[in-house]
Amino acid sequence: MATEIPDIVIGRLPLYLRALTHLAEKGQTTTSSHELGQRLGISSAQIRKDLSHFGEFGKQGTGYHINFLIDQLRHILHLNLVWSIAIVGAGYLGHALAHYQGFEQRGFRVAWVFDNDPQRVGETVNGVEVRHINDMIACLREEHVQMALLAVPTEAAQETADMLIEAGITAILSYAPINLKVPVGVQVQYSDPVVQMQRMTYYLNATAQYPET
Amino acid sequence: MATEIPDIVIGRLPLYLRALTHLAEKGQTTTSSHELGQRLGISSAQIRKDLSHFGEFGKQGTGYHINFLIDQLRHILHLNLVWSIAIVGAGYLGHALAHYQGFEQRGFRVAWVFDNDPQRVGETVNGVEVRHINDMIACLREEHVQMALLAVPTEAAQETADMLIEAGITAILSYAPINLKVPVGVQVQYSDPVVQMQRMTYYLNATAQYPET
DNA sequence: CTAGAATTGTGAAAAGTTGCACGAATGGTT
DNA sequence: AACCATTCGTGCAACTTTTCACAATTCTAG
Ligand SMILES: NC(=O)c1ccc[n+]([C@@H]2O[C@H](COP(=O)([O-])OP(=O)(O)OC[C@H]3O[C@@H](n4cnc5c(N)ncnc54)[C@H](O)[C@@H]3O)[C@@H](O)[C@H]2O)c1
Ligand SMILES: NC(=O)c1ccc[n+]([C@@H]2O[C@H](COP(=O)([O-])OP(=O)(O)OC[C@H]3O[C@@H](n4cnc5c(N)ncnc54)[C@H](O)[C@@H]3O)[C@@H](O)[C@H]2O)c1
């Protein structure tokens, strides 16, 4: 039970948390592994087994108390505090991210926005002033910021990631469609819509779109 | 070899394609499973085994001819045509997506943008006119559009997905942080930055951010 | 032409993940 | 109190995915 917990299990916890929060908002107070599994398209056994890595949170016959389980998951995922994050690149995507309303309730706060375009620097995005990229390392170091969202053009992604690492960042969510080289100890997650779309076209029928050809 | 190919293998092909395209743009003409694996953080054996599901694309001693392999992957993933896609929701995220420059070169074309806000309808986003959501089903049906990006508020996501399905859409990339209920045969991919961020906080040190507390 | 280095494709082994099925506990109902 | 319907946590079996390791092939260079 105290052994290393598989990454794949950790990866599902935020989904459980999201679904539980949704149920709580609807006023529900308890749920079962079966109900949760149905909503998520995951087997109930898997949910029970995943949770059992961390303790015994449920009650036979009853299931799980939603608020209690939410608290436990928040604690496990280190979401019992609010993480300050930086957004790098204040273009279309950077603006969208800075305006995203989902961060606050889920454990994150956009504390910094950086760009290298003098036109953009000084502008305020959703209450946060855009700072120049040259100040980035100093700002993030001082505040011990650990996580950044990378939304700069592809060509600038690697060098910007290098700067982030120099600034002490250890978790990056990158939107640039390239694989970053980072030292061990730095986590990277990627978000590339085209990769997800291309995963789906494999299963689509290519002739349906142009029926006459 | 003609058996069902695992989803997990299909999921890696777009990453191979992306890395190969990157190499091709740098002027390189051949590569090896080893080099590709290094860049992607994947073992060379895995790359060879994945590709071997579809044929023998390499040459012993030499490796893979990049352009040839790109062609093969495009063909496998049905990217030898351009897929017309619809964006639903022309808010911050919808705008960012509509302006994304990575679609054209990688097999997709933003053909439609829909919103329900009369203020937004009629506006032009990156050359595409925003249409009213009430026209959506008719438009998409007529043009046999198969894929949509869903960027409406969370509360509207399920009903909008239902409309998309009624319109004949069979592949959805949803940015709303909820699990959609869809009939079998409809593919859904999700993109929720917070889920990815919460995956990373598990491994972060919660005391580092506020060293004095 | 030959030797040696590089690299593929793949069967078999190892490692990792999921699903099954059941004892044990709980709460509601008669 | 006895019974029944639920539901958890978990050992074990089944399945999936990754890695290993090697014969076969190709290219280069002497
Ligand atoms: N727009 C989307 O929906 C979308 C979707 C997926 C991925 N992406 C990726 O996200 C990234 C940004 O996309 P975008 O549409 O916002 O582009 P954009 O051009 O609108 O924005 C990029 C911003 O980064 C700034 N910038 C450029 N170089 C910089 C540097 N060295 N340091 C700091 N800032 C710098 C620019 O001034 C600009 O404001 C790109 O890599 C793109 O491929 C975008
Ligand atoms: N902004 C981000 O970076 C971001 C990131 C991840 C996820 N998301 C999610 O993406 C979605 C959109 O986010 P956003 O920031 O663009 O929000 P937004 O409010 O800026 O945009 C939403 C748009 O959808 C339109 N809309 C509302 N109801 C509609 C309906 N029934 N049919 C059609 N259009 C409708 C609105 O008029 C608006 O233009 C949300 O679910 C959000 O949680 C946003």
Phi/psi at B171 (5° precision): -145, 125
Q: What is the DSSP string of A77-141?
A: TT-SSPEEEEEE--SHHHHHHHH-TTTGGGTEEEEEEEES-TTTTT-EETTEEEEEGGGHHHHHH
Three-state DSSP at B210 gives coil
pLDDT tens column, B120-161? 999 999 999 999 999 999 999 999 999 999 999 999 999 999
- The pLDDT confidence band at residue A75, using thresholds 50, 70 and 90, is very high
Question: What is the mean predicted confidence (pLDDT) over B97-110?
Answer: 97
Residue B91 zone, left/alpha/beta (φ > 0; ψ -120 to 50; rest): beta
For residues B96 and A93, the answer to whether their CB atoms sit within 8 Å is: yes
Question: What is the mean predicted confidence (pLDDT) over B150-179?
Answer: 98
Any A CB within 8 A of B126 CB: no
Distance, CA of B188 to C1' of D17, in Å: 23
CA–centroid distance, A176 to ligand 1, in Å, is: 8
CATH class belonging to B83-196: alpha beta
Interchain CB distance below 8 Å, B199 and A11 = yes
Interchain CB distance below 8 Å, B200 and A189 = yes
For residues A207 and B83, the answer to whether their CB atoms sit within 8 Å is: no
The domain segmentation of chain A, as residue ranges, is 7-76, 83-196
For residues A120 and A113, the answer to whether their CB atoms sit within 8 Å is: no
pTM value is 0.96
CATH number, domain B7-76, options 1.10.150.240, 3.40.640.10, 2.40.37.10, 1.10.10.10: 1.10.10.10
